[in-house]
Structure 1
Amino acid sequence: MPTAHDVPPELLERPFTVAEAAALGVSRQVLRGRRFRAPHRGVRVVADLPDSLLLRCRAAALALPPDAAFSHHTGARLRGWPVPGRWSDGVDVVSHRRAPQLEGIRVEHSPWLHGDVQLVEGLRVLVPAWLWLSLAERLPLDDLVVAADAAWRLGDLSREGLRPPVGVAVGRRWVTRARQALDLMEPGVDSPMETRLRLLVLRSGLPRPTVHAPVTVLSGQVLHPDLVFERHLTVVEYEGDHHRTDRSQWQHDLWRYAALEAAGWTVVRFTADDVLRHPQRAVSHLRGVLARRPSHAEMRAVVAQTDVWSTTTRISATEG
């Protein structure tokens, strides 16, 4: 029985076309064995190669028109942006040419989506600004902001860089959502859940916090909490599960919280359960904390009053 060993080594780790194999002297009979699978007509891959988004995209690229580019959820995943759903749900592509119907491939003909492409892992992917705009067609607002925050942190996007393509989309039904996401996106956000926590805070009517604002503690070290309410001397920290399971992370967290509290800051900690399952409870708790905390102006007044009292006491003692 023909085996994969009859195929040149360069074809064993990636998808390839039947024509490419023939040019290397591999017969069609060899490729008909169970050790190969055919993801698309004229395309083959060694059957025991693990299935992945990257493998599926490389196989699809061999069967798509040359101008096709990966877009929407697929393009975002290839760039490392978080998007909802599973990668196995299908592959998203935009193309201006007529494309064959391929199993598991969604080809969109979008005349307005005329952005340039970049190579990512050797694959044609829409440039970041146009890729994010393709997501705006499908994603709800919060998911769109999550993707924007992550892309900004990776250096793929910025608010100013997104304004021109959003302007081109004027008149489309989802452009309002894209504009809202522009106003809500922030640089430096560490995780999707931090984005969702920040959006929850903003929608509650609480003051807009600063993301990772510098806070100097008594040792002189500068910390950067997740969300900072400077006026209320309060910081909010989102704790993913690794804060519980990683001992060194847990110990570092304890030091951070102690240092912040010693410097006069209140630390409020939230988890995914707070954000996703009990958002109103989380908001009520944070609102109560902020209401009880003095503002910076009030703290300065207290300090000034204390200084006056100390000075008066010293003078009285001297005169006595």
Structure 2
Amino acid sequence: MPPRARSLPPTLGDVFTTARAREMGVTSRRLRATDLEHAFRGVRIAPEGDAGTDGRPLATDRRKRARVIRRARALTAVMSPHAFFAGETAAAIYGAPLRHGFDPESDLIVAVHAPHRPPRRQGVRGIKVVPSLASIVEYLGMRVSSPASTWAMMPELGERALIQLGDFLVFVPRDDRGKPRPEHRLATMTQLHNAASIFRRRGRAELLRAFARVRVGSASPLETDYRLAAEDAGLPEPALDVEVRDRAGRLIGISDAAYVSQRVIVEIEGDHHRTDRDQWDRDIAKYAALAAEGWEVIRLTARHVRAYPPSGPELVRAALARRS
């Protein structure tokens, strides 16, 4: 059995430079140990705790995003002060929906403003951008292209993915009591539009076309996909992220979409609604309360929304006809 690796100083953290480690008395031999990941030259990543084996999509996406953030933090330790994360790397850092097949081990996208030179380092794809096309913010202790700039720098995603990303960025989070927290959203509609409209922006027409279909209130790509499918099917545009209250004014719940005049609610249910027992119990109580207040609830899954043709809009159309 190989000898157990000597413990590292607890104040060193899980991502550190070899120079700092040596200053704290860590030997070169310990820094070469196989339990430390040699992420980038001069940087080490300590072993990660048990990440779990949950294979559900949401859990998988969380692990992928956590991995990107971990690698980005490692690179930040040796990155030029002029550089910042951009593109898909920045989107992952913000917690945005990941495209199908996203690889968290792919090259990190690092940008600089002209006239600085883009970085050349293994595991990094360096790019150079005109300063007016990418503003920079600090997020999670890292320099990152602003949320709106990140969105506008990726016209190659295609219209649907741009709409999904735009919906994510402008969504207004709520606290555990259901109160909106607009100060915590990542971008505003105005910021997205301004970023897309910059003169000589690559893919400007594609971005503006996608922006025209971005809405505030879709909390997930599946909710965005329902909204787009319903729009394409000719249904009226629903209210999104709706607070539904009983006759006494008490909050029953936050519904994904509502056709208020017909008192029809659409709930878009990911797999966690089925597999999480607490969520399942909350859903049953919520739907009973909504029915008692005269609402009809249409529950849709990914199969109703993403099949071709999608059946969800027709189920909603029938409910609206019943309620007209």
- 8 Å CA contact retained: 1:216, 1:222: yes
Residue 125 (1) aligns with residue 144 (2) = yes
User: Number of aligned pairs?
Assistant: 290
Aligned to 1:206: 235
Assess, with a 3 A threshold, how the Cα gap between structure 1 residues 281 and 33 changes in structure 2: closer, same or farther.
Answer: closer
More helix by share: 1
Tell me if 1:39 matches 2:39.
Answer: yes
Instruction: Please show how residues 108-187 of structure 1 align to structure 2 within 5 Å.
Output: 108-111=127-130, 114-134=133-153, 136-152=154-170, 153=172, 154-168=184-198, 170-187=199-216
Out of 79, 86, 90, the residue aligned to residue 107 of structure 2 is 90
Percent identical residues: 31
* Deviation for aligned residue 1:237: 1.0
Shift of residue 197, structure 1, vs aligned partner: 1.2
Question: Matches of 1:222 and 1:35 in 2, distance apart?
Answer: 51
Of stretches 64-73 and 225-234 in structure 1, the one that deviates more from structure 2 is 225-234
Shift of 1:192: 2.5
Which residue does the alignment assign to 2:90?
75
Q: After the TM superposition, which of the residue ranges 227-236 and 198-207 deviates more from structure 2?
A: 227-236
Contact (CA 8 Å) 1:115, 1:126: kept in 2 or not?
Answer: yes
Distance 1:209 1:100 in 2: 46
Deviation of 1:151 after TM superposition, in Å, equals 2.1
**Residue 302 of structure 1 corresponds to which residue in structure 2?**
none
CA contact (8 A) 2:86 2:145 kept: yes
Q: Secondary structure at the match of 2:242?
A: coil
What's the secondary structure of 1:131's corresponding residue? helix
**Deviation of 1:193 (Å):** 1.5
Deviations 1:191-235 (A, max 9, x none): 222122112111222111111334444554344421112233322
Over the residues paired in the alignment, what is the CA RMSD in angstroms?
3.0
TM-score (norm 2): 0.76
Note the residue ranges of structure 1 that are not aligned, 5 or more in a row.
295-320
Distance in 1 of aligned mates of 2:10 and 2:285: 53
Distance in 1 (alpha carbons) for counterparts of 2:33 and 2:288: 64
Matches within 5 A, 1:4-15: 5=6, 8-11=9-12, 13-15=14-16
Helix, strand or coil: the match of 2:267? strand
One-letter amino acid matched to 1:283:
P
TM-score of the aligned structures, taking structure 1 as reference length: 0.77
Q: 2:288 aligns with which of 242, 258, 267?
A: 258
Give the whole-Å Cα distance in 2 for the aligned partners of 1:118 and 1:172. 20
Q: Name the SS for the 1:268 alignment partner.
A: strand
Determine which of 298, 301, 305 is the counterpart of 1:271. 301
Letter in 2 for 1:87: P
Aligned ranges 1:275-290 → 2 under 5 Å = 275-290=305-320
For the pair shown, the structure with the greater C-alpha radius of gyration is 1
Residues 1:59 and 2:60 aligned together: no
Describe the shift of the 1:118–1:220 C-alpha distance in structure 2 as closer, same or farther (beyond 3 A).
closer
Per-residue Cα deviation, 1:83-119 (whole angstroms, up to 9, x for no partner): 3124333312112332443233221212256533222
Of 192, 197, 219 in structure 1, the residue corresponding to residue 226 of structure 2 is: 197
How far off is 1:34 after superposition? 3.4
Residue number in structure 1 paired with 2:181: none
User: Could you tell me whether the CA contact under 8 Å between 1:60 and 1:105 is conserved in 2?
Assistant: no
SS in 2 for 1:225: strand
SS of the aligned residue for 2:306 comes to helix
Deviations 1:114-159 (A, max 9, x none): 533222222111222212222x333222222222222222411111
Contact persistence 1:69–1:93 (CA under 8 A) = yes
Quote how far apart the aligned CAs of 1:68 are.
Answer: 0.9
Distance 1:8 1:227, change over 3 A: closer
The 8 Å contact of residues 272 and 279 in structure 2, kept in 1 or not, is answered as: yes
Question: Which SS does the other structure have where 1:98 is aligned?
Answer: coil
1:35 Cα deviation after fit: 4.2
Which blocks of at least 5 consecutive residues in structure 2 are unaligned? 50-65, 173-183
- Could you say if the C-alpha distance between residues 44 and 263 of structure 1 is closer, same or farther in structure 2, counting changes exceeding 3 Å? closer
What residue in structure 2 maps to residue 310 of structure 1? none
